[in-house]
Structure 1
Amino acid sequence: MLRNEVFMRDSIPLWLACGGYLFLCVVSTIVIPMMFPELKWYYVLVSYVLVPGLSFCNAYGAGLTNMNMAGNYGKVALFVLAAMAGKENGVVAGLVGLSVIKSAIATSGELIHDFRTAYLTLTSPRSMLAAQAVGTAIGCIVGPLTFFVFYRSFDVGDPDGVYKAPYAIIYRNMAILGVEGFSALPDHCLELCCGFFLLGVAMNVVRDLAPERLGRFVPIPMAMAAPFFLGAYFTIDMALGSAVGYLMRKRMGDKEAAAMVPSVGAGLICGDGLWTFPAFIMTLAKINPPMCMSFSPALNS
């Protein structure tokens, strides 16, 4: 196929990938402990040893599902590094190590999206990688500036303010939990994690090896896990999208709808992303939405 030929012709040399990774590993191992003395250099080195395997898993999952699970891999690293660093420096070391691993793993998920786009549009993978590097360089400037816009304009972290920063509290508590070790986890938590992990592996094996007429009834663990990772709000988008697709098939027919549904879905996704900017402007102007959906316990009469 032409796509395969174009994609493989401009593939990225292995020596460049390995050399670049080793260079960044050395720089990070030297610089990060200077910025955060609580995180020793060997913890940074351990982080970079773990990153390739976790990045492969994340890139593979992102390619299949369009979901970047870097945050979840980072949480595992947070527990490990916090436990290794001990009670004195474990919280800071765990949080900084989480940032290192999460950033690297998230990049792998974004790259697989870019490479898939390159494959579909007959674009050189090297061009996509160069664009990713340029975007990263710009982000190193724009990211801190954006942070300070919020930090200077709003009381970030105020429980009663607009920007409560709930994840800051969550991740800090996770680091504290990691410092105390597995003994601080709820009863049977570790056993349940191992059990569901084995269940996911078993379901994949059964689905792949069983006859098609039986395997199609076995749920896909990746699809089942998505709402747990992303939150319940994800199901609302999926339900609305499925309803739109169903109505299009009923009105246009399966054949014509099959060609139109991906385009409509892409438009809805782009529209959702573009709305982020107007929402940001209205937040700066302190404009509240006309209606809000919330869920709270029922009041006892």
Structure 2
Amino acid sequence: MLMLATVKKARPSKANTFGLVNVLKTQRLRIMPPRQNITAGGWLPAEEDNAAGHDEGDEQPSAEAAFVGQTPPPWWRQVTARSVATSVVLGTVLTFMSMRIGLTAGVGPAFNIVASLLGFFVIKSWTRLLARFGVASQPFTRQENVVLQTCVISCATLSFYGGFSTYLLAMTETVAKSAGGTGTGRDVYKLETGKVMAFLGLVSYSSLFCTLPLRKLMILDYKLMYPTGSAIAGIVNSFHTPAGAATAKLQVLAMSKAIVASFMWASFQWVYTGGSGCGFQDFPMFGLTAYKEKFYFDFSASLVGVGMICPVVVNFSMLFASTITSFFLLPTLLSKKGTWYTDPSPTNFRGINGYKVPMGIAMVLGDCLFQLGSISIRAAYHFNKNRKELNLVGTNIADDGNSDEQAPLSYDDRRRNKIFLEEGMPDYVAVAGYVFFSAVSAIFVPRIFPQIRYYHVALLYAVAPIMAFCNSYASGLCDWSLASVYGKLAIFIVGAWVGEASGGTIAGLAACGVMLMIIGNAAELMHDFKTGYLTLTSPLSMFISQAIGTSLGCLINPLVFLCFEKFVGKGHLGEAGSVFSAPLATAYRGLAVLSVEGVKILPKHSMMFCIAFFFGAFFLDCLAAIAKAKKWKVKSYIPNAMAMAIPFLIGPNIAVDMAMGSLLLVIWKKTNKKSANMLSVVVASGLICGDGLFALPSAILSIFQIEPPICMKFLSNYQTEEMQDHFLPKLAASS
């Protein structure tokens, strides 16, 4: 194998593959040690310590004791102009990064930690800068920090819930052709920016009102944890206390270094991408044979960062499935060409793609079915248990006639309950808002997507609150949202209802969008309410920040997607084999096609493989659940079924990069576990941010037709001999 480096003028390079951030480690943060209740000025006076609810024998740490001298500002001072302005900038950056992840790696990231860190860093830096120039500014409170983070996240999450890498893109002609369709007729839809904005606005605003009346039931009565919301609250509280400020500075510094390093590495790589198949991203580390199967390490800093965040079992499940698929399963299927299938197209559902995509979808559905059943059973059990406990408490109070018999609330709970109950939106306003947006959507959504009828939309809005309640309750228990599962069910039901002749493919995908946005955003809002509850943030300011972030998302996301169309090209978004192949869009398209056409379009024995992989995924989930319940030692080594489905939809090179990230994290923890636990997530986020930010100068260079000067390419021995026989003599003669 020979590495050939040539200086040449070539086509613009393809963008670096970008990864995912979809796992938030919800560690309990000890804000204050027991009995060390201090304010910024020192120890609490005796009377304040007693007022804070601490008896002599009370050894429980209090998060709010550190803020006992600080009165939370009113809601209109929590939603500030500077936080909204910062949300516009950070929301645009994180939306771009999230959409790029979805279009390349095919997953929906969660940037909660990044938004909290960057929001804290930007506003703190701004206030300090003004102070140096003698300009007074409003103090930056934890409530404003939470409002800013909520606004940014509600904007950025619309890149996934809005379907720009899933169901919306699956409607396009490019994805339809990549999935083996004709790309014409009522089964494709041309995305227009104005109509997409209108669709997002109608559905996402209704999601804000869907479960709003249940916030007291979920957070106060049932005391659901909402682990992501609780973790973010702990981080924000630590940022704004003297004990946590040092940690926050270390994390911001580590993230800044990782961003700069990742950006510089991406810039260095660009220099060597002056042609097709050139550069470090095409480095055949495991040999040219493995490279042909897309099994190589492409030196993507973003994907290495993703691997550092994702659980080790997820990354190595992907690597295991990639190995089995690339070297055993697909070669076997290719050998059956001419007997099992005759279509030569690698993307057609009647050819080899009729095995890969349905098998991946079967594993996804098997995993989703298990998770849906498992979480529904757990949610029903806890719901019934909480209801009995509440009834028992109510009976005891009624019998005794004295509410003081209840367990006394802690100082933290009293402060939080007071603000959470006093400031909020009346329930009748929430119900009226949902009914209004439901009626408007039933009228106008069919005008945006003519394939779906008003009664389809009305039915979706009628059942969505029930599904949203189930999903929000389950998410509060185990931090796992099943919004995408409900969206896939909507594809099957509405797609089959409308039928192939009437455009059931587009109707099913539109129905998926309605269900996914309502259920997903409702669960996200409940997590934000939990964050607000634990930081004494007004529920009204939380709702307003959600509304502002949603408005920004409905405007920013379509414009960012339009930029991708302009710079990358419409024909490359969702194109099989391209950098922006959008694997989830292909999967959603496959579900929609199967819902209206059935299994008759698949090649021979494809359904047999699908059934086997469906039950295989279900079996793996059952085995993992049993191993966890029985505390078997092998519980950490059972592959994750959902992760194993990903290589069927995208190339295995992503799995190699993510496994490398896990390996680096394992080594880091072995050498310095404390440092790794504190900084690994922010370092990984910095690697992702820096690699993603280079896309902007890369696009500018392409606009001005500034091309990479060098092509670094790797050749086999045979290719090297061919080059020496034909290319070098001509080069010598011309010189």
Of the three residues 498, 510, 517, the one matched with 1:85 is 498
- Alignment of 1:281 with 2:696, yes or no, is yes
2:505 touches 2:592 (CA, 8 Å); kept in 1? yes
Kept in 2: contact 1:55–1:108 (CA 8 A): yes
Q: 1:151 aligns with which of 550, 557, 565?
A: 565
Q: Partner of 1:43 in structure 2?
A: 456
Alignment gaps of 5+ in structure 1:
209-213, 250-256, 291-301
- Aligned match of 2:643 in 220, 224, 227? 227
Deviates more, 1:58-67 or 1:129-138: 58-67
> Could you tell me which amino acid in structure 1 is paired with residue 597 of structure 2?
E
Note closer, same or farther for the CA distance 1:262–1:52 as it changes in structure 2 (3 Å cut).
farther
Alpha-carbon contact 1:156-1:163 (below 8 Å) kept: no
AA partner of residue 590 (structure 2): N
| Amino acid across the alignment from 2:536 | L
Partner Cα distance (2:429, 2:612) in 1:
42
Tell me whether 69-78 or 1-10 shows the greater mean CA deviation. 1-10
Q: Name the CA distance, whole Å, in 2 between partners of 1:55 and 1:226.
A: 23
1:204 deviates by 5.5
Higher alpha-carbon deviation: 60-69 or 30-39: 60-69
Amino acid at match of 1:280: A
Alpha-carbon distance in structure 2 between the residues aligned to 1:124 and 1:95: 37
How far residue 83 of structure 1 moved from its aligned partner, in angstroms, is 1.2
Deviation at 1:240, TM superposition (A): 4.3
Counterpart of 1:247 in structure 2 is 671
- The offset of 1:111, in angstroms, is 2.0
Q: Identify the range of structure 1 (267-276 vs 77-86) with the bigger mean alpha-carbon deviation.
A: 267-276
Contact 1:227 1:235 (8 Å CA) reproduced: no
Match of 2:571, SS? coil
1:22 maps to 435
Q: Is the 8 A contact 2:438 2:458 kept in 1?
A: yes
* 1:201 CA displacement: 7.4
Quick check: 2:621–2:641 contact (8 Å CA) kept in 1?
A: no
8 Å contact from structure 1 (residues 83, 181) kept in 2 = no
2:473 and 2:664 map into 1 onto residues whose CA distance is 27
- Match of 2:570, SS? coil
- 1:68-147 alignment, distance < 5 Å: 68-88=481-501, 89-147=503-561
Count of aligned pairs:
276
- Once structures 1 and 2 are overlaid, which stretch shifts more, 14-23 or 193-202? 193-202
In the aligned structure 2, how far is the partner of 1:11 from the partner of 1:217?
Answer: 48
Change (3 A) 1:112 1:94: same
1: CA distance, partners of 2:691 / 2:477: 25
Which aligned pairs between 1:190-229 and structure 2 lie closer than 5 A?
A: 193=614, 214-215=630-631, 219=635, 224=640, 227-228=643-644
Which of 175, 186, 208 is equivalent to 2:607? 186
CA contact (8 A) 2:481 2:523 kept: yes
**What is the deviation of 1:163?**
3.2
CA separation in 2, counterparts of 1:133 and 1:224? 36
1:211 is matched with none
Percent of residue pairs bearing the same amino acid type: 30
Aligned equivalents of 1:103, 1:26: Cα separation in 2: 17
Q: In 2, Cα distance between the equivalents of 1:150 and 1:84?
A: 34
Tell me the TM-score normalised to structure 2 length: 0.32
The corresponding residue for 1:299 is none
Secondary structure, counterpart of 1:275 in structure 2 = helix
Q: Name the CA distance, whole Å, in 2 between partners of 1:53 and 1:224.
A: 29
CA contact (8 A) 2:483 2:516 kept: yes
Q: Root-mean-square deviation (CA), in Å?
A: 4.0
1:4 CA displacement:
3.7
Q: Distance in 2 between matches of 1:276 and 1:16?
A: 44
**8 Å Cα contact 1:81/1:94 also seen in 2:** yes
Alpha-carbon separation, structure 1, partners of 2:591 and 2:542: 36
Distance 1:78 1:240 in 2: 40
Q: What is the CA distance between 1:2 and its match in structure 2? A: 4.7
Higher helix share: 1
Which structure exhibits the higher relative contact order, with contacts defined as CA atoms closer than 8 Å and separated by 6 or more residues? 2
Q: 1:161 to 1:194 in 2, by over 3 A?
A: closer
Q: 1:33-80, CA deviations, whole angstroms, 9 ceiling, x for partnerless residues?
A: 111121011211222234234334544555566565533432222122
Give yes or no for contact 1:71–1:102 (8 Å, CA) kept in 2. yes
Q: Structure 1 277/3 Cα, relative in aligned 2: closer, same or farther at 3 Å?
A: farther
**Structure 1 residue 112: Cα displacement:** 3.7
Partner AA of 1:244 in structure 2? W
What CA distance in whole angstroms lies between the structure 2 residues aligned with 1:191 and 1:45?
37
Task: Output the CA distance in 2 between the equivalents of 1:65 and 1:241.
Answer: 25
For 1:15 and 1:201, the matched residues in 2 are separated by 43
After superposition, the C-alpha distances for 1:248-285 in whole angstroms (9 at most, x for unaligned) are 33xxxxxxx3xx65542442354255336414315424
1:176 pairs with 569, 593, 602, which one? 593
Range with bigger deviation, 264-273 or 16-25: 264-273
151-160 or 193-202, which deviates more: 193-202
* Rg larger for: 2
Say yes or no: does 1:271 pair with 2:686: yes
Classify the secondary structure of the residue corresponding to 2:452. coil
Give how far 1:166 is off: 4.2
Distance 1:150 1:49, change over 3 A: same
Are the counterparts in 2 of residues 156 and 165 from structure 1 also a CA contact under 8 Å? no
